[in-house]
Chains A and B, each alone.
Chain A
Amino acid sequence: MENEGKKRVWSEYQKEIADDHFFYVRSCIRQSFFPGSEQFFLDFMRNGLGKDVFENPSHTTCTGIGYHGDIVPIETIMTVVARHFALMKESGYKNIAISCVTSFGIYTEILETWKHFPEQLERTREFLFKATGREFDVPENMAHTSDIIYKFRDEIASRAKYRLINHQTGEPLKVVEHIGCHYSKMFPKHGVGGAEFPRVLSGMAEAWGGEIIDYPERRHCCGFGFRQYLVQANRGYSVSNTAKKFASMEPYKPDFILTNCPGCNMFMDKWQYTIREMEGVTFGPSGDSIPVLTYEELAGLVLGYNPWNLGLQYHMVQSEPLLRKMGVEFDPEDKYKTKDGVQMPIPRNLINC
């Protein structure tokens, strides 16, 4: 009986993640700032694990940044998302894999809204049919792409070329993980570990040898705030919130930051540059800054992908200090070359170079 009770309590924090046959929807921010991350996910899933992941060229933005920038009405975004569900249905898929945490939050909000207000679901069906002639089904399984990497974390560990261990000291690397507010703060049951015990990133990092840092502002927002970043006059909100997190994590000496949401990744990378420029303050050891990686970039490094094919050279904070700690073999000469190996100019004034 005791075990049954425990199982029931913890089941609220667990999530069923489909095993195969995914309809993949991209993220505006991830594909703009971290295109190598999306490509790693597809390559690993398709060629590494042999899974079926389908992308329909006709899918668009979900309009989520406009919705949370308060210029897109809820009826509009529900219908745009319904169009994605229609494309999924037409392509013969039932499991959706979402690359963006803002989108993931939108999808969870919409599915919950349709449950609480079934008339909204019917209205959305009417709107979509009137606008496009399309019809849709609600997905059977909905995962953020990090959920899927989490599901296969042990498979990745078993194939690891490098582990999250300092290869000189043998100590686990210290990892700050940042989940992103819209992953599970709004609808906890849709996230691995819910809002109280989010496990999606910590589960990966620990499976690959790292040690998670628990620090006071671990669950504080990255500071995006949508309009608080989109409009230049408001960016003090955004950078102040991120600075608060950096100051809180600094005493724990993290080796890197691991993110779930592409927006969070971009802010935690770029605001370190900005704060250094504004105040001469850095948060890593010896005047360095803290590398910020997407979960795809980290999984790629662990599996031995070339860091320059993952796109690590296109962050402001460069990742060489982390690569050296992990013992990753890399070719500095290959860093800024084209796909065909032609040397490109070397960018200047980056961080950690």
Chain B
Amino acid sequence: MENYTELLKQDIRFKEGLNACMNCGVCTAICPAAEFYTYDPRKVIDMVQSGDNDAIGELLRSDTIWYCGECMSCKTRCPRGNTPGLVIMALRTLSQKTGLFAESEKGRQQFAIKRTVGENIFRYGYCVASYAVNPDMHPEQGPIWEYILNHTHDVFERLGGKIDEYGTGPLRRIPEDARDELKKIFEVTGGTRFFESIEEHSRKKATELGLEFKDEGTDNEYFIEVYTANNGKHTS
């Protein structure tokens, strides 16, 4: 078995995020996730600090590490200068590198984020762009959103938007050479390999679950499953 603590120590966020925790629980008191999920960052930090490799392995394949919203309110309040949110980020990264993310319902959702936000980055040069926010996937956006998408050109033109135009301005088209540079940065820094790891482990899990998997897009059974599945066991 891999030594998870040693792997975590290679992540600067782990080094920054965990000095010596005295288990006071202030992080849990301030945590929005702890209020609505069965989640206790104090326990997560205690477990990681213990260095118990089996216990950390269980964390990496659990739903637990995926409950945090990364608001980082814990950073402001920890009396020992720890940041549980940064430790969570290091755990999530390791869970994806090792493939263990695919073993939990919440972890499997990384595939949905990669196929939406992740691919928007290369396709458009934006993480989020109005035309990529599909009302069917976002009913909470309400009727104004559908209206805006149906009248995009007129709406954006009045507000200074430059949809589909090169140059400056809101939602301008990002030049191809700029998007190419983004791709090269991902290749050089390990971002592309990270995306590939999410894809590979998700494909394996889809096969294991007997769900249809396609190499692109969101119109496949596995995407729909991970995007919508909620077993109702995440709150107490």
B contact residues around A117 at 8 Å (CB):
12
Interface with A: B18-26, B52-60, B139-147, B206-214, which one?
B139-147
B16 contact from A61, A113, A344, Cβ within 8 A: A113
Interface with B: A200-208, A247-255, A270-278, which one?
A270-278
B contact residues around A120 at 8 Å (CB):
12
A contact residues around B178 at 8 Å (CB):
58-60
Interface size for B (C-beta < 8 A) is 87
A55 to B174, CA, bound (A): 13
Interface with B: A14-22, A68-76, A135-143, A160-168, which one?
A68-76
Q: Is the interface of B mostly helix, strand, loop or mixed?
A: helix
Given known contacts A35-B170, A57-B175, A227-B109, A76 and B185 CB-to-CB distance under 8 angstroms: yes
Q: Smallest distance from the beta carbon of A31 to chain B beta carbons, Å?
A: 4
A13 adjacent to chain B (CB < 8 Å): no
A73 contact from B113, B157, B194, Cβ within 8 A: B194
A contact residues around B13 at 8 Å (CB):
74
Interface centre among B159, B171, B186 (most CB of A within 10 A): B159
B contact residues around A271 at 8 Å (CB):
140
Is A60 a contact partner of B128 (Cβ separation < 8 A)? no
A contact residues around B161 at 8 Å (CB):
31, 35
Given known contacts A73-B191, A273-B142, A127 and B72 CB-to-CB distance under 8 angstroms: no
Is B190 a contact partner of A65 (Cβ separation < 8 A)? no
A132 adjacent to chain B (CB < 8 Å): yes
Is B121 a contact partner of A66 (Cβ separation < 8 A)? yes
Q: Smallest distance from the beta carbon of B8 to chain A beta carbons, Å?
A: 13
B70 contact from A29, A59, A63, A225, Cβ within 8 A: A225
A110 to B93, CA, bound (A): 17
Is B127 a contact partner of A65 (Cβ separation < 8 A)? yes
B69 contact from A31, A57, A65, A237, Cβ within 8 A: A237
Is B160 a contact partner of A181 (Cβ separation < 8 A)? no
Interface centre among B66, B70, B229 (most CB of A within 10 A): B70
A-B CB pair tally, cutoff 8 Å: 252
A57 to B173, CA, bound (A): 9
Is A66 a contact partner of B72 (Cβ separation < 8 A)? no
Is A233 a contact partner of B229 (Cβ separation < 8 A)? yes
Residues of B175-205 at the interface with A, using a CB-CB cut-off of 8 Å, are: 175, 177-179, 181-182, 184-191, 194-195, 198
Is A185 a contact partner of B76 (Cβ separation < 8 A)? yes
A65 to B178, CA, bound (A): 19
B contact residues around A220 at 8 Å (CB):
32
Is B175 a contact partner of A181 (Cβ separation < 8 A)? no
> How would residues 212 to 228 of chain A score, 1 for a CB under 8 Å from any chain B CB and 0 otherwise?
00000001110111111
B contact residues around A65 at 8 Å (CB):
117, 127-128
Q: Smallest distance from the beta carbon of B209 to chain A beta carbons, Å?
A: 16
> How would residues 255 to 287 of chain A score, 1 for a CB under 8 Å from any chain B CB and 0 otherwise?
000000000000000110110000000000000
Given known contacts A70-B92, A186-B75, A270-B141, A80 and B127 CB-to-CB distance under 8 angstroms: no
Q: Which A residues are within 8 Å of any B CB, using their own CB?
A: 26, 28-29, 31-33, 35-36, 38-39, 42, 55, 57-61, 63-66, 68-76, 78-80, 83, 105, 113, 116-117, 120, 127-128, 130-132, 181-182, 185-186, 188, 195, 219-221, 223-228, 230-237, 239-241, 244, 270-271, 273-274, 308-311, 314-316, 337-339, 342, 344-345, 347-350
List of 3 A-B pairs having minimum Cβ-Cβ separation, nearest first: A225-B69, A39-B160, A35-B170
Q: Which B residues are within 8 Å of any A CB, using their own CB?
A: 11-13, 16, 32-33, 35-37, 66-73, 75-76, 89, 92-93, 96, 106, 109-110, 112-114, 116-118, 121, 125-130, 133, 137, 140-144, 147-148, 151, 154-161, 166-172, 174-175, 177-179, 181-182, 184-191, 194-195, 198, 226-230
